[in-house]
Structure 1
Amino acid sequence: MKRRKIPKKDSLAVGAQSCATECGERTNVIAGPSVLSKPNFRRSSRITASDLTKRERNLLLKEQEYRLRIQQLDERMSSLLDREDEAAAKLSQLAKKEAQNVLGQLEEHFTCALCYEIMAYPYTLNPGQCGHTFCAICILKWFFSRLHRVCGGWHEAVDCPICRSVLVITPDHVPRPPTTFPFVPNRVATAVVESLVEKLARSSPPVVKQEDPEALRMSETDKEGRKQKREVPKLEDDCSSEVDLDAWREGGSLRIEWLKRDSDGKREMNNIVRSWSTLGSNDFLLLKQRLEV
């Protein structure tokens, strides 16, 4: 099949027309974005007085809302501080009541009948029918007060200062058996007394948390009003019991005195127990002199 030949004039016209079409499209593509991206040089409209008034009114409303929130937060903070102070006061009251109960137990069950103080290093008299307990240093002073100063012996029977039960007679000859020692340690009473005394030493009132002035946004008048409004529960005990509790705490006068009596009694009693079987009349006289009886 033979191809049809296009005249040269017609091919030139078609080529010119297609070229013109392509050039027009390129012109439109290039010109389009430049027209769209052309900036708008119109001046922005100015804010009117009514808009300013409306904005100012909105700002005032927000300020009032924030002030109300701040006031509510201050009230909540004041309420929390009141609760904290009330809890601290109750804790202090409970600690003092517990310390008073401990001191009451010591005074009721562990008071020495010779010195009328809390027992220090308690020792019990040897006869089984007696069993009364005293401070170690007190019972030693009482026992050696019956020693005769001339011969260094006991001419009379030594009895209990409470029930008058006769103690084991101390033999004059040495070595004497350990069973003739007139005292036995009361380890249960010693453990209980030491535990209760240590509780009194640690019964310091709880530390109240101080208020942080930067954390509070209350004025001084609000703080004064809150302090006047707050009611701290008061203890029903008297001042004398409070003084006694302070004296039994760490560094107190009664605690220092008890520690000294406990140390002296432990030292003297242990020395006598170790050398009891070999002690003679001269040794007993020296002990009487050292005990100052």
Structure 2
Amino acid sequence: MATSTAGRSARQNVRGKRGGRRGTTHTKTDALTIQEKRARLERKITLWRKKLEESQGTVPKSAEGRPMGSGAVGGSGGRSSEHGGSVLTTMEGASREDNFGLSHIHGFSYDHEPVVMPASPAESSLNLNFRPSINTQWAQAELNDKFMCELCMGIIALPYSLKMSECQHAFCALCLLQWIFKDFCDGVSQSPIHCPSCMTSIPNFPVETPRDPATFPLVHNHVAHMILHAYTGVLTDAANEILYDFDDVKQPVANEASLAWGWDMPALQGLHRREREGEEFVSALRNQWAAADNTVFAAFKNFIGCQSDDDPEQIAGFDQRGERSISTDIAKGHEEKEEWVTEDEDGSVGNEN
């Protein structure tokens, strides 16, 4: 019994020693594993930092010539000693900063040299304030070259073409009406109606009434109208930018084109006025077309200010005739007002009657 008891005690002691050794060995293994993981993580972080620095084009170095941040955690080259944080936390912050482009916006990164900002907005890849500049004089030259009426030598106001002509040359609506009615006498045109540009002839007005609306000699040239307004829109926007954009410090010098085609400027307002007047004349002729007789046509010829070729004066454009009539009406209005309104001796204003 004593022998067996001693044997069991010896075996238990051996097992205890083995267990203690096993426990000690297991603890050392865990410590080595943690150190290896930490070292592996530090190497990965160092590699990430180098790749990040290379992608940005600069690899800052320390005084010893080594890349900054290559030391161990808490070392002289590490980020913990410089910024007081762990390498992983600081690296994650730097990655987020770079991913969102904040380092470029603020002009610096965590341990990099100051980022050089673009010298001017034109060098930036994305410039939201960029606005294309239009040369107003060039735009006006293009407008005059492509949309000049051959009858009045001005910008085409409300482009119309001869309906029966295949050429589809466009002219001002009023100019084309004056061209058609200039040889109109006794209800009949004395010469064939032809295109002012290419001299292509079209049939004269039907004499018998009621006339078919399809025989109306004019047609609105919608294509020319849309292109013309696109040109004038660009020209007006460019002129307005020069005249009314006071936000820019360096203002371009206002030229003749900008002073003419800006908002509420004479050229633009004159074009719109002539378009309205031309539309009124064309509508008046279209409404009377079916039942118009010689008297109606003669009255319409005078209505549009058309004169015969043997008149010593040239055919007056409606713009000039309208300005003269307006100035005459204003003068008459002033005269009537002076006759009707008088000033009493006591300074009060009253009627003569």
TM-score range, shorter chain: 0.5 to 0.7
CA–CA separation in structure 1 for the residues paired with 2:256 and 2:248 = 25
User: How far did 1:96 drift?
Assistant: 4.0
CA–CA separation in structure 2 for the residues paired with 1:198 and 1:139 = 24
Deviates more, 1:161-170 or 1:201-210: 201-210
Deviates more, 1:137-146 or 1:106-115: 106-115
1:147 aligned onto 2:212: no
- SS of 2:161's equivalent in the other structure is strand
Mark the runs of 5 or more structure 2 residues left unpaired by the alignment. Answer: 1-116, 122-128, 307-353
Instruction: Specify the code of the residue in structure 2 equivalent to 1:163.
Output: C
Query: Is the 8 Å Cα contact of residues 165 and 200 (structure 2) preserved in structure 1?
Result: no
Query: Is the 8 Å Cα contact of residues 168 and 181 (structure 1) preserved in structure 2?
Result: no
Aligned to 2:80: none
Query: Is the 8 Å Cα contact of residues 159 and 165 (structure 1) preserved in structure 2?
Result: yes
Aligned to 1:124: 161
CA–CA separation in structure 1 for the residues paired with 2:152 and 2:261 = 17
After TM superposition, the structure 1 = structure 2 runs for residues 184-203 of structure 1, keeping only pairs within 5 Å, are 184-203=219-238
Cα displacement string for residues 222-256 of structure 1 (whole angstroms, at most 9, x for unaligned residues): xxxxxxxxxx7988xxx8xx202320111111112
1:110 aligned onto 2:147: yes
CA–CA separation in structure 1 for the residues paired with 2:145 and 2:191 = 33
CA–CA separation in structure 2 for the residues paired with 1:115 and 1:154 = 21
Q: Please, what TM-score do these two structures have when normalized by structure 2?
A: 0.46
Aligned to 2:304: 291
Could you tell me which of 236, 241, 245 is aligned with 1:205? 241
Query: Is the 8 Å Cα contact of residues 168 and 180 (structure 1) preserved in structure 2?
Result: no
1:173 aligned onto 2:208: yes
Q: Which structure carries more relative contact order (alpha carbon 8 Å, separation 6+)?
A: 1
Instruction: Specify the code of the residue in structure 1 equivalent to 2:190.
Output: H
Cα displacement string for residues 8-66 of structure 1 (whole angstroms, at most 9, x for unaligned residues): xxxxxxxxxxxxxxxxxxxxxxxxxxxxxxxxxxxxxxxxxxxxxxxxxxxxxxxxxxx
Indicate how the Cα distance of structure 1 residues 205 and 142 shifts in structure 2: closer, same or farther if over 3 A, else same.
same
User: How far did 1:262 drift?
Assistant: 0.5
Query: Is the 8 Å Cα contact of residues 173 and 278 (structure 2) preserved in structure 1?
Result: yes
- SS of 1:278's equivalent in the other structure is coil
Indicate how the Cα distance of structure 1 residues 122 and 210 shifts in structure 2: closer, same or farther if over 3 A, else same.
closer
Aligned to 1:133: 170
Indicate how the Cα distance of structure 1 residues 170 and 265 shifts in structure 2: closer, same or farther if over 3 A, else same.
same
1:282 aligned onto 2:282: no
More helix by share: 1
**How many residues matched?**
182
Query: Is the 8 Å Cα contact of residues 123 and 183 (structure 1) preserved in structure 2?
Result: yes
Query: Is the 8 Å Cα contact of residues 140 and 235 (structure 2) preserved in structure 1?
Result: yes
CA–CA separation in structure 2 for the residues paired with 1:163 and 1:210 = 49
- SS of 2:233's equivalent in the other structure is helix
User: How far did 1:91 drift?
Assistant: 7.3
Query: Is the 8 Å Cα contact of residues 159 and 171 (structure 2) preserved in structure 1?
Result: yes
User: How far did 1:263 drift?
Assistant: 0.6
Cα displacement string for residues 131-167 of structure 1 (whole angstroms, at most 9, x for unaligned residues): 211010110111111111xx23213212222211112
Structure with greater Cα Rg: 1
Instruction: Specify the code of the residue in structure 1 equivalent to 2:155.
Output: I
Mark the runs of 5 or more structure 1 residues left unpaired by the alignment. Answer: 1-79, 85-89, 212-231
